């Protein structure tokens, strides 16, 4: 169930984590990513192309083509991927969609959402892809089981 991110962002995060687990500079086809993560190939290609435009992913055309990270995994934070795909509006807007939601005029969830939003933003800002490599490898292994 998607709570904060779009499905596109969830898949983008999965794909980028997958690329980070493969090793720096290793080129992986959209087919392989789609199969290993159980994501539709067309969706993977579109997401990775948008991440290529943002400078997080590199693409190579041709028979040996595919995708790789454009930067070392230690330099890519989860928030960078979220910003590239969904943007950061979720961290600045009312969770219920009320206009002018603020501490002076809060929505019913303003205080609790503010705490969750701050925690989520901090976690996404602090975590880099390389910090999650072992957990990513473990998750991918369990996807295949």
**pLDDT over 70 for what percent of the chain?**
97
State the pLDDT at residue 140. 86
Q: Domains of the chain (ranges plus CATH)?
A: 7-138 (1.10.10.10)
Task: Answer whether residue 131 shows pLDDT above 80.
Answer: yes
> For residue 3, what pLDDT band results from cuts at 50, 70 and 90?
low
- Average pLDDT of the chain, as a whole number: 90
Query: Radius of gyration of the chain from Cα atoms?
Result: 17
Task: Answer whether residue 37 shows pLDDT above 90.
Answer: yes
Rounded to two decimals, what is the model's pTM?
0.88
Contact indicator for 112, 95 with CB cutoff of 8 Å: no
């Amino acid at each position: 169930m998607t709570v904060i991110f779009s499905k596109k962002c969830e898949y983008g995060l999965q794909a980028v984590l997958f690329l980070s687990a493969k090793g720096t500079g290793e080129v992986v086809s959209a087919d392989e990513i789609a199969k290993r993560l159980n994501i539709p190939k067309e969706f993977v290609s579109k997401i990775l192309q948008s991440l290529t435009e943002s400078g997080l992913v590199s693409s190579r055309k041709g028979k040996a083509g595919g995708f790789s990270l454009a930067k070392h995994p230690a330099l890519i934070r989860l928030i960078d991927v979220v910003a590239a795909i969904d943007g950061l509006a979720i961290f600045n807007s009312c969770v219920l969609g009320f206009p002018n939601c603020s501490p002076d005029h809060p929505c019913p969830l303003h205080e609790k959402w503010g705490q969750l939003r701050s925690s989520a933003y901090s976690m996404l800002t602090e975590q880099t892809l390389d910090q999650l490599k072992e957990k990513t490898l473990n998750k991918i292994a369990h996807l295949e089981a």
